[in-house]
Amino acid sequence: MPRLQLGDWVDDGVSWLVDHMSWLFDAIKMVVEGLYDGIYAVLTAPEPLLLAGILAVAAWWLRGLVAGVLAFAGFALVDSMALWDKAMSTLALVLVATLVALVISIPLGIWAARSKTVSAVVRPVLDLLQTMPSMVLLIPAILFFGMGVPAGVVATLIFALAPGVRMTELGIRQVDAELVEAAEAFGTPPRDTLLRVQLPSALPTIMAGVNQVIMLGLSMVVIAGMVGTGGLGGAVNEAIGQLDIGLGFEAGLGIVVLAIYLDRMTGALGAQISPLGRRAAAKARTAGTPKLWNHRPRPVVALAGVVVLALVAGGLGIFGSSAQTTAATGTDVGQGKKVTIGYIPWDEGIATTFLWKELLEERGFNVTTTQYAAGPLYTGLATGQIDFQTDAWLPVTHAEYWKKYGDQLEDLGKWYGPTSLELTVPSYVKGVDSLADLKGQSSKFKGRIVGIEPSAGMMGLLKDKVLGEYGLDGEYEVVDGSTPAMLAELKRAYAKKEPIVVTLWSPHWAYSDYDLKKLKDPKAAWGEGDGVHTLARKGFADDNPEVGDWLKNFSMTEKQLTGLEARIQQAGKGGEQDAVRAWLKANPGLAEKWAPVGSSEGKSGANGVSDN
Amino acid sequence: MSSRLEAEHLYKVFGRRPGDAVTRLEQGADRDELRDDGTTAAVIDASFSVEPGEIFVVMGLSGSGKSTLLRMLNGLLEPTAGHVRFDGQDMTALGDRELRALRANKISMVFQHFALFPHRSVRENAAYGLSVQGVPRAERERRADEALALCGLAGWEDSWPDELSGGMQQRVGLARALATDADLLLMDESFSALDPLIRRDMQDQLLELQKTLKKTIVFITHDLNEAMRLGDRIAVMRDGRIVQTGTAEDILVRPVDDYVASFTKDVDRSRVLTTGAVMDPETRGDEADCDCPTVTPDTPFTELCALSARLSHPVAVLSEDGELVGVVRRQRLVGFLGDRQGAPEPCGNPSVPAHVDGKVTARA
């Protein structure tokens, strides 16, 4: 069979689009971002509980008292889990995605319903969009739209488009042919037939489609979180990366609250806006005896309630918004300049990212930190969306990324190393101390070595070299998976004291949490360890010479790193920066050493700024 | 123009190259030959005219092409060949917009399954045609209410279609068609989906309305009884062709072929026939000379039977100006009822009465 270079064509196509269509993507990006910012601003303006009240009144109006009370309880729960801003960000994301999805899918569905050709063309495209693994589409989305909300919206959109189109087409096709004929027999023009007969009759089906669009959008939130949309999806990703079951559950619960609320509300809204649905609802109400928990305020009352709450909220928002968070102290090198740091949720990455956030903010920079998966992080750096990241394991672990993006990045040097890669067993596994000891022991470990992401450099090294060196090739199977899955497997086996071999690396918090044994590598098959590098986008060091210098000269000892990591671990989620501040206070002199703004250098630094 | 609606050599062919198919049909090809090529000839060479105020019934079994024919009359389907003239205007020459205007103002339609808009109230349904015409709300609601009242639905204006029985729903359908004041009413199997009793009510009501409204109606049905009850004239369709056009009596008494005759077998003749169809025009000239009651050619068959039973001699038939035009013998009456006409046959076996073979007994 001749090899079709389909992949290369796609590559070329994507590059061409990036080079030639960027005006289009920028326009789309601007619209999406504008919508998102607007909705997010509205959602976060009032006090959380006030907005919860407004949402609850809407639920009361659409579905009844019980729904209103439950809605309030759900949103209060979200607020009490300190996830309110994230939840609102997710809600805004889903609303924007839904809005754009409907603007595209309903006309497309109508068109498909009226033309067999369009329907035949659209159907396979929808199949592709819906079943193509979303991560595959996520990277091109980043290339087109950059990291952040627009890419997330597009990823969500692509997935959520299909039910909107399908249900609209189905709804219109299902309209009784005799009804359409009746409309035509009375001389109705085609447009009016659509608006006055087909769409109203198809409305329940179309609303079911809208509902599906929203639900699928919510289910994509976690995936979208990987490209830096933040919100609950970001929180879930973070929790997965850190194996933090509690936080994962809380963020997941937040998504569930949003999902149930949106599902019930769109369902009820569907019944409200179609005359048939209104009648069915009215019939159901009059059939039973009136009960307090079925009581629904009249629209006027509900509207008045929402307006009053919104006014109160608006008033509070105005008074509450005066608090300023960034107070630059000391020597102001940054003068409010924006710096974006991206990080993978690995412990040393989190520690150094927040360390630099603190240091740079101290020096007057305006720092944003966002968490990504490794792939999107490198894409973001290469496209200049992210200024720098501190957690590049080179040359082995991140070899693939370096190969692809290396020439678009600037290596600001190693700040920690060497690291080591290894196979690790729990200490309770006796008689296995070195890689050579694994031979003939496969039955003990069920023939499995629990690995991480197949894209990781160490996985390639393990399969291609290490196993061969020690003659373990046929005996063990390396299980591809993910880092969280590997850690979960380790945790499970550790709790039951079952034998297990995992791929691991140092530094890693697992070594402090569990009693583990690194398997010796007498043949040095793993090779030299990686260094942990700081990578910046091309041109970052020229744009910010001081920061560039600071990062180039930055290094940490193992004691400093583990000490900082331990602080952050104790402080828990959300307290990273406070932990960094406390740790810096306990280790005086380090801040000045890493980011010097002395009187003599201060001048040159100031000159440096004025040179820009 | 005397005729309201004229159809001239209408053809409708579905499938590939319909034009060629029409040429072949004109040259005498039949429907089955075409079907082998994947084309379906739904209507073949249909011609007829409908006079103002007339109820013209098109009767045929399913698949005979009658619904397709009807849809060409208001332009929902474009004829493959031939012309439709409405008040002398060739509809096939009209553009989409003009055709829509014509349908909105002059031609209404009533459907088999009512085709009421479920998201509109009864009043809004009845007012639909008027809203397409652009009549202001107040006026169209008034006229819709009038049409509903005419159809016996006063007081139901604010109900919803699905709250009504089938018969009432079709009254709404009828009211919707009448509300536009269209001259031509197309009714597509409009009563076929109703229970027999309701159907009869609706037929009576239509005839009652027709007495005052004098609409021109083309009515499609597969039920010959219905066709004969309603139709001033009836066209019988078979396999896309109109095989006979005529009055109910023409169809019943003078069927053009066995196919039409086989249809008429199940018809309740006593309700259709009149004295004119049954009488023997050969008279001696003195049948009306006694003082016995006489009949006219229009007298219904049932009345004629009742009278014949009371008289000892044949019933005399007098025209409107009192002239003797025919006689009816009792034997002839029984013969018509049993679809057996002609002279009595001689009896071969005296113990078995003539004319009472199994078939006739069963039918009597």
| Residues 6+ positions from A530 with CB-CB distance below 8 Å | A393, A394, A395, A396, A397, A417, A418, A419, A421
CB contacts of B91 in chain A (<8 Å) are: none
B37-66 average pLDDT score: 89
> Residue A170 to residues A176, A198, A216, A485, A555: CA-CA distances in angstroms?
12, 11, 18, 41, 62
| Residues 6+ positions from B297 with CB-CB distance below 8 Å | B274, B275, B276, B279, B317, B319, B325, B326
- Segments making up each domain of chain B, as ranges: 50-268, 271-363
What torsion do the CA atoms of B126, B132, B137, B138 make, to the nearest 10 degrees? -60
Shortest Cα distance, chain B CAs vs residue A207, angstroms:
15
Q: Worst-scoring range by mean pLDDT, A336-340, A496-500, B348-352?
A: B348-352
CB contacts of B132 in chain A (<8 Å) are: 186-188, 192
Q: How many CB atoms lie within 10 A of CB A280?
A: 13
Chain A residue whose CA is closest to B120: A275
Percent of chain A with pLDDT over 90: 15
**Is pLDDT at A358 greater than 50 in this prediction?**
yes
Q: How many CB atoms lie within 10 A of CB A103?
A: 11
Residue A294 banded pLDDT, cuts 50, 70, 90? low
- State residue A526 phi and psi, 5-degree precision: -70, -15
Shortest Cα distance, chain B CAs vs residue A148, angstroms:
44
The structure tokens listed for A31 are 């619209």
**Is pLDDT at A324 greater than 50 in this prediction?**
no
Question: Which residues partner with A502 through β-bridges?
Answer: A424, A450
- Note the Cα B250 to chain centre separation in Å: 13
ipTM: 0.77
Q: Do B104 and A187 touch (CB under 8 A)?
A: yes
Note whether B81 and B10 are within 8 A (CB).
yes
Provide the sign of the torsion angle of the four alpha carbons B260, B261, B264, B269, taken in this order.
Answer: positive
Q: Do A185 and B112 touch (CB under 8 A)?
A: no
Shortest Cα distance, chain B CAs vs residue A178, angstroms:
6
Note whether A309 and A57 are within 8 A (CB).
yes
Would you call B160 an interface residue with chain A, using a CB distance cutoff of 8 Å?
Answer: yes
A391-415 average pLDDT score: 86
What are A35-71's pLDDT values in tens digits? 998 999 888 888 888 889 889 988 888 888 888 899 9
Chain B residue whose CA is closest to A278: B119
Shortest Cα distance, chain B CAs vs residue A185, angstroms:
6
Q: Do A178 and B112 touch (CB under 8 A)?
A: yes
Would you call A192 an interface residue with chain B, using a CB distance cutoff of 8 Å?
Answer: yes
A306 versus A210: which is more confidently predicted?
Answer: A210
Give the end-to-end CA distance of chain A in Å, rounded to a whole number.
Answer: 58
Shortest Cα distance, chain B CAs vs residue A262, angstroms:
26
Domains A31-320 and A338-414+532-611 share a fold: no
Which CATH number, 1.10.760.10, 1.10.3720.10, 3.50.50.60, 1.10.10.1590, labels domain A31-320?
1.10.3720.10
Would you call B115 an interface residue with chain A, using a CB distance cutoff of 8 Å?
Answer: yes
Q: Which of A181, A184, A200 sits opposite B119 (nearest CB)?
A: A200
Would you call A611 an interface residue with chain B, using a CB distance cutoff of 8 Å?
Answer: no
Q: Do A192 and B104 touch (CB under 8 A)?
A: no
Q: Which of A179, A185, A187 sits opposite B117 (nearest CB)?
A: A179
Would you call A177 an interface residue with chain B, using a CB distance cutoff of 8 Å?
Answer: no
Would you call B106 an interface residue with chain A, using a CB distance cutoff of 8 Å?
Answer: no
Residue with tokens 């043949």: A523
| Residues 6+ positions from A596 with CB-CB distance below 8 Å | A550
Distance CA B332, CA B341 (A): 7
Residue with tokens 């034997």: B331
Domains B50-268 and B271-363 share a fold: no
Would you call A184 an interface residue with chain B, using a CB distance cutoff of 8 Å?
Answer: yes
User: What pLDDT was estimated at residue A140?
Assistant: 78
Distance CA A97, CA A83 (A): 21
Distance CA A512, CA B323 (A): 127
| Residues 6+ positions from B330 with CB-CB distance below 8 Å | B308, B309, B314
Burial class (CB in 10 A: 0-12, 13-18, 19+), B197: exposed
Would you call A185 an interface residue with chain B, using a CB distance cutoff of 8 Å?
Answer: yes
Q: Worst-scoring range by mean pLDDT, A161-165, B68-72, B249-253?
A: B249-253
CB contacts of B100 in chain A (<8 Å) are: 187-189
CB contacts of B160 in chain A (<8 Å) are: 279
What are A436-479's pLDDT values in tens digits? 888 888 888 888 898 888 777 788 888 888 888 888 888 888 88
Q: Do A178 and B113 touch (CB under 8 A)?
A: yes
Would you call B108 an interface residue with chain A, using a CB distance cutoff of 8 Å?
Answer: yes
CB contacts of A187 in chain B (<8 Å) are: 100-105, 129, 132-133
Would you call B119 an interface residue with chain A, using a CB distance cutoff of 8 Å?
Answer: yes
Q: Do A187 and B186 touch (CB under 8 A)?
A: no
- Segments making up each domain of chain A, as ranges: 31-320, 338-414+532-611, 420-518
User: What pLDDT was estimated at residue A297?
Assistant: 67
Would you call A275 an interface residue with chain B, using a CB distance cutoff of 8 Å?
Answer: yes
User: What pLDDT was estimated at residue B340?
Assistant: 62
Shortest Cα distance, chain B CAs vs residue A201, angstroms:
7
Q: State the DSSP H helix or E strand holding residue A425, giving kind and residue range, or none if neither.
A: strand A420-426
Give exposure, A237-264, as e/b (b: 16+ Cβ within 10 Å): bbbbbbbbeebbebbebbbebbbebbeb
Task: Classify the phi-psi angles of A340: left when phi > 0, otherwise alpha if psi is within -120 to 50, otherwise beta.
Answer: beta
Task: Give chain B's mean pLDDT.
Answer: 84
Q: Which of A186, A276, A278, A286 to mutate to test the interface with B (most CBs of B within 10 A)?
A: A186
What are A253-268's pLDDT values in tens digits? 999 999 999 988 888 8
Shortest Cα distance, chain A CAs vs residue B138, angstroms:
19
Would you call B128 an interface residue with chain A, using a CB distance cutoff of 8 Å?
Answer: yes
Question: Which residues partner with B10 through β-bridges?
Answer: B46
Distance CA A483, CA A503 (A): 9
| Residues 6+ positions from A337 with CB-CB distance below 8 Å | A364, A365, A366, A544
Chain B residue whose CA is closest to A182: B115
What are A534-555's pLDDT values in tens digits? 999 988 888 888 888 899 889 8
User: What is the number of CB-based contacts under 8 A between chain A and chain B?
Assistant: 60
B88-117 average pLDDT score: 89
Concatenating the DSSP letter of every residue in A528-586 gives: SPPEEEEEEETTHHHHSHHHHHHHHH----HHHHHHHHHHHHHH-TT-HHHHHHHHHHH
- Name the CATH topology of A420-518: D-Maltodextrin-Binding Protein; domain 2 (3.40.190)
Burial class (CB in 10 A: 0-12, 13-18, 19+), A297: middle
Distance CA A253, CA A259 (A): 10
User: What pLDDT was estimated at residue A334?
Assistant: 75
**Is pLDDT at A239 greater than 90 in this prediction?**
no
Distance CA B149, CA B156 (A): 9
Burial class (CB in 10 A: 0-12, 13-18, 19+), A415: buried
Q: Do B109 and A185 touch (CB under 8 A)?
A: yes
- State residue A33 phi and psi, 5-degree precision: -65, -40
Chain A residue whose CA is closest to B161: A276
Would you call A274 an interface residue with chain B, using a CB distance cutoff of 8 Å?
Answer: yes
- Note the Cα B300 to chain centre separation in Å: 19
- Name the CATH topology of B271-363: CBS domain Like (3.90.1280)
CATH code linked to domain A338-414+532-611? 3.40.190.10
Q: State the DSSP H helix or E strand holding residue B196, giving kind and residue range, or none if neither.
A: helix B196-213
**Cis geometry, peptide bond prior to residue B255 (ω within 30 degrees of 0):** no
Tell me how long chain B is.
Answer: 364
Q: How many CB atoms lie within 10 A of CB A11?
A: 12
Task: Please give the CATH architecture assigned to the domain spanning B50-268.
Answer: 3-Layer(aba) Sandwich (3.40)
Residue A312 banded pLDDT, cuts 50, 70, 90? low
| Residues 6+ positions from A492 with CB-CB distance below 8 Å | none
Would you call A278 an interface residue with chain B, using a CB distance cutoff of 8 Å?
Answer: no
CB contacts of A185 in chain B (<8 Å) are: 74, 76, 103, 107-109, 186
Would you call B109 an interface residue with chain A, using a CB distance cutoff of 8 Å?
Answer: yes
User: Residue A393's closest CA among A428, A348, A432?
Assistant: A348
Q: Which of B101, B115, B176 sits opposite A178 (nearest CB)?
A: B115
Shortest Cα distance, chain B CAs vs residue A161, angstroms:
28
Distance CA A32, CA A151 (A): 9
What is the identity of the amino acid at A357?
K
Distance CA B282, CA B329 (A): 11
Would you call B118 an interface residue with chain A, using a CB distance cutoff of 8 Å?
Answer: yes
Tell me how long chain A is.
Answer: 612
User: What pLDDT was estimated at residue A70?
Assistant: 92
What torsion do the CA atoms of B285, B287, B292, B297 make, to the nearest 10 degrees? -80
SS3 label, residue B312: coil
Would you call B129 an interface residue with chain A, using a CB distance cutoff of 8 Å?
Answer: yes
What are A378-398's pLDDT values in tens digits? 888 888 888 999 999 888 778
- State residue A343 phi and psi, 5-degree precision: -150, 155
